[in-house]
């Protein structure tokens, strides 16, 4: 295989073979691709990634979710369960740095593509495995989606209002959080292989479940239950450990505010013309404010309701309070901060035309990321990869296509 093509970003030169589907692995490899990695994504020859069918779609049926999640990846088709497909997959990872997969545990081993098989042809490979419950444990072989992880991780139980049922997030939070942990772990493993203590030169397996990353976000809660038996309950938009912190109604909408330390709270009290709150023993410190959050929020909202969102924010910011509006996507597109930072990037796409997408996040001073193209068509890069890089002849590729291998 030829070396990874040159791309813009700090990960230029990194070769990634993405055998995952849906969201968790795909979002991690999207981030890698945003920052220069050469990501080759494998899809089944007959059925493309399910995200290709997600709404919202353009008039011709093209999924905009796919255009976002599939960007900066070269897409090829391959039946991993076929013997010839297995051999081609091993050829693909032979010179790769990283491979991703998110099948049910045991599937890759059954296909002859488990860690031992891949490390036999590439001992330095970082093999990232995402699954519902992880690769070990009594539930490891059960199927798992993000929705289930959001329930098991404790997230749904803690999310929502006290008088309502547990609430799932409006985005694929478990998958997207697992993707971030997988991304971090990939870079850690590459650092150990290439740099740490001189570099071991050895690859390893990274095992990421959908449940544990979300659960890991509850810092303090594990310790609280282990030490005192305390279980976090739903608090709506309030925070169980700091006050005031809420979404407050205004005369024409809503605004957010957080005053987590004493100085900021005192500035808020003066800004809303209620300096007496500072001397009130119920609000003397953060712990007291958390205990008496109902009357505190009522006092603040009595003031915010008498002002428009713009007025309230202007007055509070003049007192150096930390406040903000509640945006929808239309507001974000108009906001000067997003535009000033170049967060809205226009990309020309052959299927959907000029389309606005996220610019790579975060920003780099010397080696910024880039969006070279949006999600490709199914099998768009078969010739480029199989003929141009693996060295198959056009006739051999045609035979594999006819046999349903690619």
Which residues are catalytically annotated?
Answer: 175
Percent helix, strand, coil in the chain, to 5, is 40, 15, 45
Spell 130-145 as b/e; 16+ CB within 10 A means b: bbbbbbeeeebeeebe
Helices and strands counted in the chain (H then E): 19, 11
Nearest CA to 33 out of 357, 384, 383 is that of: 357
- Distance between CA atoms of residues 69 and 18, nearest Å: 13
Using the structure block, give the residue that is written with the tokens 């693909």: 92
Asked if residue 144 lies in contact with residue 178, where contact means CB atoms within 8 angstroms, the answer is: no
- Distance between CA atoms of residues 346 and 358, nearest Å: 9
Strands (DSSP E) contained in 144-290 are 204-209, 245-249, 254-258
- Distance between CA atoms of residues 310 and 317, nearest Å: 11
Cα–Cα distances in angstroms (integers) from residue 76 to residues 28, 42, 172, in the given order: 18, 5, 25
Give the three-state DSSP class for 356: strand
- Distance between CA atoms of residues 9 and 6, nearest Å: 9
Omega before residue 138 within 30° of 0, cis: no
Asked if residue 186 lies in contact with residue 262, where contact means CB atoms within 8 angstroms, the answer is: no
Q: In terms of DSSP bridges, do strands 15-18 and 98-101 run parallel, antiparallel, or are they unpaired?
A: parallel
């Amino acid at each position: 295989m030829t070396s990874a093509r040159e791309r813009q970003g700090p990960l230029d030169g990194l070769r990634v073979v993405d055998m995952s589907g849906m969201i968790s692995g795909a979002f991690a490899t999207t981030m890698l691709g945003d920052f220069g990695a050469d990501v080759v994504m494998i899809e089944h020859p007959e059925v493309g990634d399910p995200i290709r069918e997600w709404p919202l779609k353009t008039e011709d049926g093209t999924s905009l979710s796919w255009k976002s999640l599939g960007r900066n990846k070269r897409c090829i088709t391959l039946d991993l369960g076929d013997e010839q497909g297995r051999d081609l997959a091993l050829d693909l990872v032979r010179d790769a740095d990283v491979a991703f997969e998110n099948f049910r545990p045991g599937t890759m081993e059954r296909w002859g593509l488990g860690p031992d098989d891949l490390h036999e042809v590439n001992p330095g490979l970082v093999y990232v495995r995402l699954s519902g419950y992880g690769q070990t444990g009594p539930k490891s072989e059960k199927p798992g989606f993000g929705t289930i992880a959001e329930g098991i991780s404790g997230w749904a139980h803690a999310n929502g209002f006290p008088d309502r049922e547990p609430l799932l997030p409006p985005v694929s939070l478990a998958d997207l959080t697992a993707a971030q942990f997988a991304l971090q772990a990939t870079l850690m493993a590459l650092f150990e292989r290439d740099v740490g203590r001189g570099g071991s030169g050895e690859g390893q397996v990274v095992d990421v479940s959908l449940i544990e990353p979300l659960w890991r976000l509850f810092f303090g809660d594990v310790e609280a239950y282990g030490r005192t038996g305390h279980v976090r309950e739903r608090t709506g938009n309030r925070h169980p450990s700091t006050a005031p912190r809420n979404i407050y109604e205004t005369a024409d909408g809503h605004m957010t505010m957080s005053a987590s330390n004493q100085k900021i709270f005192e500035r808020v009290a003066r800004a809303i013309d209620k300096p007496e709150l500072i001397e009130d023993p119920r609000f003397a410190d953060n712990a007291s404010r958390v205990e008496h959050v109902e009357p505190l929020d009522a006092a603040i909202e009595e003031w915010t309701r008498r002002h428009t969102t713009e007025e309230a924010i202007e007055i509070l910011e003049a007192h150096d309070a930390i406040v903000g509006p509640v945006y929808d996507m239309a507001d974000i597109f108009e906001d000067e901060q997003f535009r000033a930072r170049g967060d809205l990037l226009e990309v020309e796409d052959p299927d959907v035309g000029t389309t606005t997408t996220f610019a790579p996040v975060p920003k780099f001073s010397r080696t910024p990321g880039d969006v070279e193209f949006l999600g490709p068509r199914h099998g768009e890069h078969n010739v480029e990869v199989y003929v141009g890089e693996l060295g198959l002849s056009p006739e051999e590729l045609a035979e594999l296509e006819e046999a349903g291998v690619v």
